[in-house]
């Protein structure tokens, strides 16, 4: 019993250390932005959102990666006011990669991973402002009661008084609704397992299924793909995946490695584009710095950490523990 309590306390301690690290990193991103004269970086910045639910319990055992809808609305206002940035769709990025050379500039693509019922309100807010966004859906989980791969969601569903809007995955009938709001629905794999943990045959089958289900749900060919967990350093982005993604007509894929993508590198990095995660406290200068392509020094520190002797890449062990507890992993 005492051992169990000790383990739980250690888990909470690690979570708080991780949160503090991310916060300090985001402060550093604001400093980078200030040093750059509050001008956006040239290139393609891709922001990564997850849940946008309201009223989640504040003290929770796992980081729910939630940006409260009210905070999200403020972020949209801030981003819309950044006139030096052009918001682009996934379709536009695909057209660049298929031949149309992008002119110099600062571009921003908004992406959401996993997709819950609560993201419908975010979709309506985006549509009312004429802002495009790509929603990445793990297709085996459409219409399920809960995302079984998410320790937080499973915990959340078990709480008395939990609002189903906090944790219910998107339903099949909502996918065309998203499309009618000009949201681009794209695959986030089928099973939401790390592709690095699968055999080649499993991986190809998983990608094929997810592309086919999205195509059927929204009646058009997907062009983008988001890797589950998405860390190239931890082995979630196997090189062989790009071959199958290309075969399925996918033009680019996004990882969870943090950073801004230089336009000159877009073709080279098309199947491992970097993103910047958005946190619940990112308002004002914090969200401006991220939309401008600044993400702090943590990504560089992580890549150095994983190059240390003995730091072998281990793909996320699906269903075992919580990815939130890894000292360096972002969720994708
Ligand atoms: Zn995901």
Determine the longest span between alpha carbons in the chain, in angstroms.
62
Q: Tell which residue, 183, 260, 267, 269, has the closest CA to residue 220.
A: 183
Q: Tell which residue, 332, 271, 331, 330, has the closest CA to residue 25.
A: 330
Is residue 329 predicted with pLDDT exceeding 60?
A: no
Distance 331 CA to ligand 1 centre (A): 7
Distance 66 CA to ligand 1 centre (A): 13
Distance 228 CA to ligand 1 centre (A): 5
pLDDT value at position 125?
Answer: 98
pLDDT value at position 1?
Answer: 62
Q: How confident is the model at residue 10 (pLDDT cuts 50, 70, 90)?
A: confident
Distance 138 CA to ligand 1 centre (A): 7
Give residue-wise pLDDT tens across range 298-316: 877 776 666 666 655 556 5
Q: Average of pLDDT values for 1-11?
A: 76
Q: How confident is the model at residue 251 (pLDDT cuts 50, 70, 90)?
A: very high
Q: Average of pLDDT values for 235-264?
A: 96
CA distance 140 to 191: 5
Tokens 């660049």 identify what position?
Answer: 96
CA distance 21 to 216: 42
Token pair for 173: 């009938």
Torsion 258-260-261-262 (CA) sign: negative
Q: With beta carbons less than 8 A apart as the criterion, state whether 230 and 302 touch.
A: no
Distance 41 CA to ligand 1 centre (A): 27
Give residue-wise pLDDT tens across range 85-111: 999 999 999 999 998 778 899 999 999
Q: How confident is the model at residue 319 (pLDDT cuts 50, 70, 90)?
A: very low
Report the predicted TM-score, pTM, of the whole model to 2 decimal places.
0.91
Distance 151 CA to ligand 1 centre (A): 12
Give residue-wise pLDDT tens across range 159-193: 988 999 999 999 999 999 999 999 999 999 999 99
Angle between helices 298-305 and 2-35 (to 10 degrees): 130
Q: How confident is the model at residue 322 (pLDDT cuts 50, 70, 90)?
A: very low
pLDDT value at position 298?
Answer: 84
pLDDT value at position 11?
Answer: 77
Q: Report residues near ion ligand 1: CB below 5 Å.
A: 113-114, 332
Dihedral of the alpha carbons of 215, 217, 219, 221, in degrees to the nearest 10: -20
Is residue 324 predicted with pLDDT exceeding 60?
A: no
Token pair for 270: 């098309």
Distance 53 CA to ligand 1 centre (A): 16
Mean per-residue pLDDT over the chain, rounded: 90
């Amino acid at each position: 019993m005492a051992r169990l309590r000790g383990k739980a306390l250690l888990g909470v301690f690690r979570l708080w250390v991780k949160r503090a690290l991310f916060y300090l990193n985001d402060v550093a991103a604001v400093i980078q932005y200030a040093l750059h004269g509050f001008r956006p970086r040239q290139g393609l910045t891709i922001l990564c959102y997850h849940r946008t639910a309201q009223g989640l319990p504040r003290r929770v055992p796992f980081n729910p990666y939630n940006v409260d809808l009210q905070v999200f609305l403020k972020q949209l206002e801030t981003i819309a006011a950044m006139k030096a940035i052009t918001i682009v769709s996934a379709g536009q990025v695909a057209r660049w990669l298929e031949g149309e050379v992008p002119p110099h500039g600062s571009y921003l693509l908004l992406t959401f991973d996993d997709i819950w019922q609560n993201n419908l309100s975010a979709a309506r807010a985006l549509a009312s402002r004429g802002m495009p966004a790509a929603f990445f859906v793990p297709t085996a989980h459409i219409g399920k009661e809960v995302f079984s791969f998410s320790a937080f969601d499973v915990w959340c569903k078990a709480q008395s008084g939990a609002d189903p809007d906090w944790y219910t995955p998107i339903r099949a009938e909502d996918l065309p609704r998203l499309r009618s709001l000009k949201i681009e629905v794209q695959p986030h794999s089928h099973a939401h397992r790390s592709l690095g943990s699968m055999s080649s045959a499993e991986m190809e089958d998983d990608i094929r299924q997810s592309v086919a289900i999205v195509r059927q749900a929204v009646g058009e060919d997907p062009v983008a793909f988001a890797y589950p967990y998405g860390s190239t350093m931890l082995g979630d982005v196997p090189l062989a995946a790009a071959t199958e993604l290309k075969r399925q007509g996918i033009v680019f894929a996004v990882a969870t490695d943090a950073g801004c993508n230089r336009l000159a590198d877009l073709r080279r990095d098309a199947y491992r584009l970097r993103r910047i995660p958005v946190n619940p406290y990112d308002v004002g200068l914090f969200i401006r710095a991220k939309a401008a392509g600044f993400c702090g020094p943590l990504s560089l520190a992580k890549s150095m950490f994983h190059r240390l002797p003995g730091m072998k890449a281990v793909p996320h062990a699906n269903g075992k523990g919580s990815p939130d507890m890894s000292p360096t992993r972002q969720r994708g």
